[in-house]
Structure 1
Amino acid sequence: MTDAERRTGRDETAEERADRKWGELIQEVRVAQTGVQILFGFLLTVVFTPKYTQLGHVEQVIYIVTVVLGACATGALIGPVSLHRLVSGQRVKPQAVQLASRLTFVGLLLLLATMVSSLLLVLRVATHNALVPWLVGAVLLWYLICWYALPLWARHRHADH
C-alpha cells in the first residue's frame, strides 16, 4: 500500500469504489424516496376532497405547482433505480454512479421545493395570516442549513487539502 492510499484509508480498485459509492447512494435515495412518495401520495388525494373546491385561485395554483414539483421529485429520486436496472452488467458502473448521484441531487432540490410549496399551501389555508411567508422562509432557511450549508461546511472544514 502506498503512502497516498494509507492517508485516504481506502485500498480499493475503481470497481470496488464504484460498488461502495453505489451502495451508499442507494441507501441515501431510500430515505428520500420514502419521504417524497408519502408526500406525493398525500398531495394526489387533496384534489378529491370537498375542501379543494373552496380554495381560492392562488391556493389552487400553489397546489398545482406543488403536485408538479412532487411528481418531478418522485421521478428524479426513483430514476437511479431505473438507471441501475437498465445499465446493470454493462460495465459502466462508475458513470452510472456519477449520473445517479446528479439525479439524486436534482431530486433533493425538487423535494425541497415540494416541501416548501406544501408548507406554504397548508399554512395559507390553515391560518390566512400575514406571518405565513416569514414562517415558510424560516423553514426554507432551516432546510438549506441542514441539507446544504452544514454538509458543505463539513466538507470544507474536514476535507484533505
Structure 2
Amino acid sequence: MTFFEDIKFHKGKRRIYDIIFFAFLSSFIAALENMFPRPIPYFRIGFSFIIVIIVLDSFKLRELILLILIKNISVAVAFAYIFTPTFYLGLCGGIVSVIVMKLMRNFKNTFSFFGISLAGALTSNLSQAFLSKYLFNLPDIKFLIVPVFIISLITGSIVGIISIFLIRDN
C-alpha cells in the first residue's frame, strides 16, 4: 500500500491533520510561486495544484475544498492580500476547479490526470475571468476568453505532466 492509499483509511483527528498537512504543503508551493516575478499580471502557473491532483483520490470533495480554503487563506495572510479581489478570485478559481477535477476523477477510466489538470486550469481561469467582470465592473469579458484558454492549456499541461511524474514515482 502506498502512502497516498494509506491516507484514505485515516479517521478522526488524523484525517484533519492530513488535510492541514497537504494544505500547508500546497501553501508553501504557492508562496514560493508568489515570490517570483510574473510575465503577465495576476498570472501564476498554479504549481500548488500539483498537491491537489496528487491527493485527489485520497480526499473527499469537502476535504479538498477545505484544503483549498486553508491554502488560500494562509497565502493571502502571508502576502497581505486577505479579503481583496485577488483573494476572492483565487478562492473562487480554486474551489470551482477542485469541484470539476473531483467530478472528473469519479470517471477514472475516462479522464487522465493530464486531462483533469487541463480542465482544472481552464475552469479556474474561466471562473476568475467571470468573477472579475463583477469585481472590476468590466463591461465585456469576451476579449479574455481566448487568452485564458491559451494560458490554461499551458499551465494545465505543466501541472499535469509534473503531477503524473510524481504520482508514478509513488
Into which bin does the TM-score normalised by the smaller protein fall?
A: 0.3 to 0.5
Higher alpha-carbon Rg: 1
TM-score with structure 2 setting the length: 0.32
TM superposition score normalised by structure 1: 0.33
